[in-house]
Structure 1
């Protein structure tokens, strides 16, 4: 059986047992922020087992896509380790229990998969006599094939909560796959006994003291590894040799003229690439993106590890996006979302690999130098600070550095790496850092920061300040001054201007001094704690060391603050309406609008949108005081503060509190109270990826402009339909009904006209070598109508060739048809209409019995139709 056949067989089997087949949940848990990935089939159902939510179905079966990353280094070197895998499962939420789960499992593996019972072994928990009796007395498994194992392997629990004993099914793959030890038995670490199915009997609740209380409503959670079962049924030595992975590996090998099975080094690389490409393709499809944190870090690590294994094979070109395409082709039928988002996914992979390839060679060269230096000093340890430099400058994950060092017999000082990471903001760049590997612009600003110090941002509390001009750049070059009319970048020692960060746009403002005026239209932070202003000198000369006054555009800042404070209210409102799984995934805060991306699994309906709007506007009317204070991260978390997407937090964090309604960590600018937000109005809702939604909103003056525009539209519609605004809906409904009646009448008249035209066209039939040929012009408004007339004529003449043409503005439509009895004689409607269309400057084609074409020259339609008989005669001669 192929992997696809096993997957389908399993789901259909449990469907026959009353289970509801549900699609795989996203790899990104939408309702469980405690974990990075969906790592087992039961993860989406945790609330049902805990009783936190009530399921729609009491029996469910799924094939769940999963990612697990604790053993990344083992992937490719063992037969079973994967980062991405598929877990088949059947689940009961207070419905059936062991009495059904055990017999069904045996029925499926022996009768549907036809695994020999004498090759199967069963494990149970030490004192689970209930399971033993069912396996032995009901199913008929010999007692000597039922093995009792301890809590470390056959009891499932994750701290406080539901838990219970397990029972596993093993396949004996034969002594030749074993370790050779006389003590080799079920549970041995060798490859002889392969676990394929784990049945978890959720029957206890463990409290904080470690007491186990029987559950009134028991559950079943099973995991049936698709790749493992496929390896058994297909008789191959590892999961990688199954069709689920082998096709991807063979495709990769074919790209570069390699062959799987010839050399261990090549085999390991092909396995790593296939596994990791499956993981990153599925993860990006579900909305994860490469980054240096959380899931994004996992994606980046896997992609870069796969890319590096390609380089070890001598592959220098970008190739992972091609392998990603092979993953889509292999898995797209079972997971349609892969094909739906293929362009986006492959583009992300391509861009990330390109980015990595630009630094890989330089980073590898630096690591080699570090190892050479360590050798000279008699050491085999890469210092943590140097490993951090590889991470910080070249994007090398610590694990990648460890792997590369291990291949040369080196280890990495991970404690030192951790200290360097912790001290990132404080420590100065090492004198050995090589700035040619940093972007030219980044290096320039870092040098300027070292020279002139950090910028003192005072814009949380002040909207104007006195400052000294520390440096000026024109077209990226340091200059001493700038004249009126020039656009430049400049750095001040103090600024009230907020730099673009965390989704909030930067301030606009003005810089002034006697006889000097500069308009500021962009504020950024290209390196940590250095704020760069971009603007145009309007009057005077801007010089280094000038003493100036700086003012923020107050109206623009206030409008931005309205939208930013509203974003916090919106975040809380979405959680209240849609559920606690809602978490911010990105935002844009501008003066005119706000955009908010968040985790959610479905479109928001009109009722939910209204609830969210009402909650936010109620919070505005409640006039909550907005407090801003600093705290430690732990203290803020203890208070329940939520972290916002894109923010970086140090030991001290900035907390924004809005009454008792909202509490978030945030580095942006805000109002003094929620009443200043004014009117809040949601104006858009859409999808931005699997499990990700986006809403857009306006506040304050922006909301008033939006409402006024809608009122103007309503007034204009009322004028056009000649009704008062409050009667517009009824009036439009009447017009639509009248329009439907007119359309129906028009269709009836068109049909009658077509019948008259058919009668006239029938009279124009010619005979070419004994075959009826009808070529004429028809009054058909579009291609569909023209095809309909051809169908009517074909029924009328019974045998022959039909070519009809019509004009629609400056275009020509042509349709040709050949009755089926004439097809063996060589006539072909597609070729016929193509030649005729050439006369009117067009082209087309299609099937032998029916085809269509278009043209650009209506004036030559008659000439084209006259040529039809000649083309028919020519086809008959061939």
Structure 2
């Protein structure tokens, strides 16, 4: 059975059990900053298990694409570890429970997958007698094949929130795959007993004190690794030998002229490349781009690691983008987003490969310098920390560093490298947050939601409402009242206030009654159905159950609406001008401006920016009607709506339509017609990462203010250069030409003065132990000029040592030069400056023949220069 057939069979089986087949969610978690990647099948459904959101269905089944990187270093070295993998899952949100989950799992693995019952073992949580009875009595599993295991392995919980016991299905691969120990059994770390399916029974809620209460609506969260099941059904020793990965490995082998099975190093490289190519292809397709932080850093590390293993196969030129193409060919029929974003994936991977080639060249230069410095200081090894920096920053494998160092008679300090590696792993572990269902504060608010009911949002239709205060928080403590001057968070039964979401900032508002008022400056929605209004009590005393009037700041709301509607027009215009590969990667919609991040691979030309701006303003002038429609996600996609990064499973979505020009999923607030945007003006564009650009713009009054400020600047320039506005360009061009002519004359004069200064300096040269030494002040205004002066002096002096110092603007520049014949006599320019730079409050160094330094204490310059002769004498004597 192929991986595709297993995937389809699983989903169809659970569809026959009343589950809705849902597509895989993005690898980039929706609205969940606590985790970098979707690392399990349950991640998209976290809000449903917590009650923070309401699912459209109570039974769902998916094949979820997942990405995990904690064990990246062992990928390819073991049979089962991956970064990217597919997790089959069936889920119940307050519907069925253990009875159905267990029986269906057994039915699927034995009757549909055809796995022999005598090869299967079951684990349960040690106290879960309910699961035991179902396995023993309903399914008929022998008592000696049901293993009770402890909380560390068979109870799922992470902090405050829903949790529960687990039951796992293991497949016995045979004694020949075991460790040989007489104690080898289910739970052993060897390869004999392979866990293929984990059933999580979500039946408790754990509070912050560690108390467990039974949930009223219990849930099921299961996960079956597709690659693992495929390895069993296809009777292969590792996941990499299944068709899911072997086809990609074979493609890489043909591409590189290497054959899987021809050697351990080659096999490892082919496995790592196949795994990482899948991870990279899917991550880029879902909107991740290489960068130096966050998920972008993880993506870059995966990509560069795959490229490094390409070097093992003898490939120096870009190749991974071709392997990414093979991934798309292999998996695109199941995951259409790969096909849709093929050009994006190929281009991002190839661009990053090319850049990494340049980085490797930089790493080679750094390693060469490290080798030279080690030899000059008499060391026979390269510092382990420096070798790790080569590995971490430039992608140099330790083996490559050792090989090049060995060619130069050096070793690499292993202990220092291992220490630096462990420090990095500790940082990664501390930065990595677990996949938790719900935070502690959200858990409290979820409980509150059950007590007081949902906040009704009326802000699409109204900008004011009569509302009742349902809860008050001060410093995260629930209180009954609050007085003037206190910072509060309010929960209201009804609100017209838009909560911050999808890049749009929240409304500001006043919540008031006859003698009380709260100035609200932030509105959030920490759990679905509950708005928190954060602000300050500016008068009177507010109490729970008080009836208040809520009035949104109308001017601010309209400015935000103009900017938000403009982002939709901008998105469409960018696609028209730059290409369909443009996709939103983030945004900020504020009252005074908008910011829009999107995928693109080069800077945007002034002509392209002008065309984008013209298209947006034309759409504004066309007075397009703005409509909002409610539909399912599938219906919206069928209409052709652009699905942005913050779409959600199962929810009814809001589609914003602007004439026949733009159609997008969006929950934000908008104008009634594009004409209300008024005017659109781009402020500029920039790079915010590899393959990621950013534009900023203003609309409405902001655009008018921007143009007025530009006009004021032009008028000021016109008055300054004494020219009318219509002659301004010609006048400025004339002034620029005159300035350039004067600069050339000044440069020529400086050159003549420098030659005069050189002659006078040479007269001040001294002879120390048969060596000419010149240590003098210079009038050079910057480091470049001081180095040029050094070069002139060396040409005139010939053999000798020169140290120059210049003080300007409260800073000191120092340069030193030693002629080549004297370098061989132990004289070292870098060491001379290293000794005298502290005297001017600085530091520096360099090569034996040339060095430079800087300082912050001009008062010490003469003293520093006076030390030079003594240092030359000391070095010459060694």
Check whether TM > 0.5. yes
Residue pair 1:228, 1:239 contacting (<8 A) in 2 also: no
C-alpha displacement of 1:477: 0.5
Specify whether residues 480 and 340 from structure 1 end up closer, same or farther in structure 2 by C-alpha distance, changes over 3 A only.
farther
Task: Give, in angstroms, the shift of residue 75 of structure 1.
Answer: 7.7
1:629 aligns with 2:656: no
Q: Helix, strand or coil for the counterpart of 1:876?
A: helix
Go from structure 1 to structure 2 and tell me whether the alpha carbon gap of 1:843 and 1:241 turns closer, same or farther (over 3 Å shift): same
The answer to whether the 8 A contact 1:231-1:237 is kept is no
CA contact (8 A) 1:507 1:556 kept: yes
CA–CA distance in 2 between the matches of 1:351 and 1:568?
40
- State the match for 2:573 in structure 1: 573
- Residue 450 of structure 1 and its aligned partner are, at CA, apart by 0.4
- 1:533 aligns with 533
Query: In structure 2, what is the equivalent of residue 486 of structure 1?
Result: 486
Q: Tell me how far 1:352 sits from its aligned partner.
A: 8.1
CA distance in 2, matches of 1:784, 1:823: 23
Pairs aligned (count): 561
How far, CA to CA, are the matches of 2:830 and 2:282 in structure 1? 45
Gaps of 5+ in 2: 1-26, 29-64, 86-233, 290-294, 319-352, 361-391, 396-420
Q: What's 1:554 paired with?
A: 554
| 350 and 689 in structure 1: CA distance in 2 versus 1, 3 angstrom threshold | farther
Seen in structure 2, the aligned counterparts of structure 1 residues 654 and 765 have a Cα distance that, compared at 3 Å, is closer
- Shift in CA distance, 232/723, structure 1 to aligned 2, threshold 3 Å: same
CA distance in 2 between counterparts of 1:837 and 1:237 reads 53
Distance 1:650 1:340, change over 3 A: farther
When residues 706 and 636 of structure 1 are mapped into structure 2, their CA distance, relative to the original with a 3 A threshold, is same
* Structure 1 position 655 matched with structure 2 position 655: yes
Whole-Å Cα distance in 2 between the matches of residues 816 and 336 of structure 1?
Answer: 38
Deviations 1:86-109 (A, max 9, x none): xxxxxxxxxxxxxxxxxxxxxxxx
Deviation at 1:498, TM superposition (A): 0.9
Aligned to 2:133: none
Report the secondary structure of 1:581's partner residue: coil
Verify the 8 A CA contact 2:83 2:276 in the aligned structure 1: no
Aligned counterparts of 2:554 and 2:394: Cα–Cα separation in 1: 40
Aligned to 2:777: 777
2:195 is aligned to none
Q: What TM-score, normalized by structure 1, do the two folds share?
A: 0.57
> Do the aligned residues in 1 keep the contact of 2:77 with 2:268 (CA within 8 Å)?
no
Change (3 A) 1:661 1:765: closer
| Corresponding residue for residue 862 of structure 2 | 862
- Residue of structure 1 equivalent to 2:675: 675
State whether structure 2 residue 259 is matched by structure 1 residue 232.
yes
Alpha-carbon separation, structure 2, partners of 1:637 and 1:839: 70
The 1-side partners of 2:763 and 2:600 are apart by 65
* Structure 1 Cα separation of the partners of residues 427 and 278 of structure 2: 17
Q: Deviations over 1:101-147 (max 9, x none)?
A: xxxxxxxxxxxxxxxxxxxxxxxxxxxxxxxxxxxxxxxxxxxxxxx
In 2: Cα distance, 1:841 partner to 1:282 partner: 52
CA contact (8 A) 2:569 2:616 kept: yes
Structure 1 pair 683/331, CA: closer, same or farther in 2 (3 Å)?
A: farther
Residues 705, 440 of structure 1: alpha-carbon distance in 2 compared, 3 angstrom cutoff: same
**Structure 1, residues 619-641: CA drift from partner, whole Å, max 9, x if none?**
11111121223234343333322
C-alpha distance in structure 1 between counterparts of 2:597 and 2:740, whole Å: 40
Q: What's 1:730 paired with?
A: 730
Match of 1:444 in 2: 444
Q: Which residue of 2 aligns with 1:834?
A: 834
How far apart are 1:706 and its partner, in Å? 1.2
SS at match of 2:581: coil
How has the CA–CA distance of structure 1 residues 797 and 656 changed in structure 2, closer, same or farther, with 3 Å as cutoff?
closer
More deviation in 807-816 or 485-494? Answer: 807-816
- 1:106 paired residue number: none
Q: In the aligned structure 2, how far is the partner of 1:509 from the partner of 1:533?
A: 9
Distance 1:794 1:449, change over 3 A: same
- Which residue in the other structure is 1:666 paired with? 666
- In the alignment, which of 268, 271, 292 is matched to residue 241 of structure 1? 268
Aligned to 1:791: 791
- Secondary structure of the structure 2 residue equivalent to 1:521: strand
- d(CA) in 2 for partners of 1:325 and 1:350? 21
Cα contact 1:518–1:538 (8 A) shared by 2: yes
Offset, 1:855: 3.2
What corresponds to 1:543 in structure 2? 543
- Supply the distance in 1 between the matched residues of 2:674 and 2:575 (Cα, whole angstroms): 19
Q: Please tell me whether the aligned partners of residues 761 and 776 of structure 2 are also in contact (alpha carbons under 8 angstroms).
A: yes
Separation in structure 2 between the aligned mates of residue 806 and residue 358 of structure 1, nearest angstrom = 56
1:573 deviates by 1.6
**Structure 2 partner of 1:805:** 805
Q: By how many angstroms is 1:351 displaced?
A: 8.6
Q: Which has the higher contact order (CA 8 A, sep 6+)?
A: 2
TM-score (ref. length: structure 2): 0.57
Identify if the C-alpha distance between structure 1 residues 814 and 479 changes in structure 2 by more than 3 Å, giving closer, same or farther: same
Residue in 2 aligned with 1:518? 518
| 1:460 corresponding residue in structure 2 | 460
Shift of 1:853: 2.4
User: For 1:485 and 1:344, how far apart are their aligned partners in 2?
Assistant: 54
Quote the Cα distance in structure 2 between the aligned partners of 1:650 and 1:642: 17
* Contact 1:503–1:646 under 8 Å retained in 2: no
User: How far apart are residue 823 of structure 1 and its match?
Assistant: 2.4
In structure 2, relative to structure 1, the CA distance for the partners of 1:815 and 1:633 (3 Å cut) is closer
Change (3 A) 1:572 1:773: closer
Q: Is the 8 A contact 1:227 1:239 kept in 2?
A: no
Can you give the 5+ residue segments of structure 1 that lack an aligned partner in the other structure?
A: 1-26, 29-67, 86-187, 201-221, 246-270, 291-298, 304-319, 360-392, 395-437
Mapped contact 2:845–2:852 kept (Cα < 8 A) = yes
1:712-740 deviation line (CA, Å, top 9, x unaligned) = 22222223323223333222222222222
Q: Give yes or no for the alignment of 1:586 onto 2:586.
A: yes
Q: Alpha-carbon deviations, 1:279-301, whole Å to 9, x = none?
A: 657876898449xxxxxxxx89x
Between the aligned partners of 2:424 and 2:301, the Cα distance in structure 1 is 12
Matched position secondary structure for 1:643: coil
- Pairing 1:184-263 to 2, within 5 Å after superposition: 224-226=251-253, 229=256, 231-232=258-259, 235-237=262-264, 239-242=266-269
Instruction: Determine if contact 2:83/2:279 at 8 Å carries over to the other structure.
Output: no
The structural deviation recorded for 1:337 is 3.9
2:717: which partner in 1?
Answer: 717
The DSSP-based 3-state class of the residue aligned with 1:225 is helix
In structure 2, relative to structure 1, the CA distance for the partners of 1:745 and 1:285 (3 Å cut) is farther
Go from structure 1 to structure 2 and tell me whether the alpha carbon gap of 1:691 and 1:231 turns closer, same or farther (over 3 Å shift).
Answer: same
Provide the rounded CA distance (Å) in 2 between the counterparts of 1:439 and 1:498.
Answer: 23
Moved more, 338-347 or 479-488: 338-347
C-alpha distance in 2 between matches for 1:647 and 1:770: 79
State the distance in 1 between where 2:837 and 2:516 align: 70
CA drift of 1:234 comes to: 9.6
CA distance 1:873–1:281, change in 2 (3 Å): farther
* Partner residue, 1:154: none
Distance in structure 2 (CA, Å) of the matches to 1:674 and 1:344: 49
Tell me the CA shift for residue 323 of structure 1: 8.7
The answer (yes or no) to whether the contact 2:626–2:657 under 8 Å persists in 1 is yes
- The 8 Å contact of residues 480 and 543 in structure 2, kept in 1 or not, is answered as yes
- 1:172: which partner in 2? none
Do 1:800 and 1:818's aligned partners in 2 also have CA atoms closer than 8 Å?
yes
Task: Indicate if the aligned counterparts of 2:657 and 2:663 stay in contact, CA closer than 8 A.
Answer: yes
| Structure 1 residue 808 displacement after superposition | 1.4
Contact 2:260 2:267 in 1 (8 A): no
Distance in 2 separating the partners of 1:241 and 1:818 = 50
Contact 2:250 2:260 in 1 (8 A): no
Residue 695 of structure 2 is matched in structure 1 by 695
Note the alpha carbon deviations across 1:616-664, whole angstroms, 9 max, x for none.
1111111112122323434333332222331336453322222222222
Question: Cα–Cα, structure 1 residues 356 and 803, in superposed 2: closer, same or farther, change >3 Å?
Answer: closer
Shift of the alpha carbon at 1:231?
A: 4.5
C-alpha separation in 1, matches of 2:552 and 2:68? 52
1:474 Cα deviation after fit:
0.4
**SS at the partner of 2:758?**
helix
**Contact kept? 1:285, 1:690, Cα under 8 Å:** no
1:765 deviates by 2.4
Conserved in 1, the CA contact under 8 Å of 2:67 and 2:84? Answer: no
- SS at 1:505 equivalent: coil
Query: Cα distance, 1:805 vs. partner?
Result: 2.1
